[in-house]
Amino acid sequence: MNEPRRLARTYERVAPMTLRRARRILGNDEAARDVVQDVFVSLLAYERELTDEALVPWLYRSTTNLCLNRLRDDSTRATLLAMQASSDRSSQAVDDAAILRDTLQRLPADLRAVAIYYYADEMTHDEIASLLGCSRRHVGDLVQRMHAAVEALETLR
């Protein structure tokens, strides 16, 4: 099949899932659309190497990593918080979202990803293990470390 048509079919099939994931992490439609565009630009380099089974895990990892990179950027994070504050959400919801994003940003990258997979995506340990390419037991250890790290951050507040 012609490469542009294949990429278009892939986009139609998985872009909605990728956009939902980015929205869930970033809490902002415009930023989420930017991340989806970046994910699909990077997919151009890997598309031939990815099997159908590997595509979704690759998209989850890429989307998560790009979203976390975006959250790390202080000016972008401040802009996202300002946009959220101007939306019609309650100030408590904005405060909660800011605390959540701040907590995620302060976690080590491996624990940050596990927190998103476990809480935002509601994945099982088996699903996370498959996505990360590690054992279920290791995921359990990461979840425990993540809980301990969040508790330690809470005591610092």
- Do 3 and 42 lie in a common domain? yes
- Do 113 and 85 lie in a common domain? no
User: Is there a domain that residue 100 lies in?
Assistant: no
User: Is there a domain that residue 97 lies in?
Assistant: no
- Do 81 and 147 lie in a common domain? no
Per-residue pLDDT in tens (0 to 9) along the chain, 157 residues: 456 677 788 888 888 989 999 998 888 899 999 999 999 888 888 777 777 778 888 888 899 889 888 887 645 556 656 666 555 555 666 566 677 777 778 888 888 888 888 887 788 898 888 888 899 999 999 999 988 888 887 777 6
Work out how many domains the chain is built from and give that number: 2
User: Is there a domain that residue 35 lies in?
Assistant: yes
| CATH number, domain containing residue 124 | 1.10.10
- Do 117 and 156 lie in a common domain? yes
- Do 62 and 137 lie in a common domain? no
- Do 30 and 79 lie in a common domain? yes
User: Is there a domain that residue 138 lies in?
Assistant: yes
- The pLDDT value given to residue 7: 76
Radius of gyration of the chain (CA): 17
User: Is there a domain that residue 99 lies in?
Assistant: no
- The pLDDT value given to residue 51: 77
User: 0.85 cut: is pTM over it?
Assistant: no
- Do 57 and 24 lie in a common domain? yes
Closest by CA to 119, choosing from 84, 98, 146, 89, is 146
- Do 71 and 9 lie in a common domain? yes
Residues 6+ positions from 112 with CB-CB distance below 8 Å: 68, 104, 105
Rounded to an integer, what distance in angstroms lies between the CA atom of residue 77 and that of residue 74? Answer: 5
- Do 66 and 134 lie in a common domain? no
- Do 42 and 17 lie in a common domain? yes
User: Is there a domain that residue 41 lies in?
Assistant: yes
Closest by CA to 26, choosing from 113, 132, 108, 101, is 101
Q: For residue 69, give its domain range.
A: 1-90
**Under a CB-based contact definition with an 8 Å cutoff, are residues 51 and 60 in contact?**
no
| CATH number, domain containing residue 84 | 1.10.1740
- The pLDDT value given to residue 37: 92
Rounded to an integer, what distance in angstroms lies between the CA atom of residue 43 and that of residue 9? Answer: 13
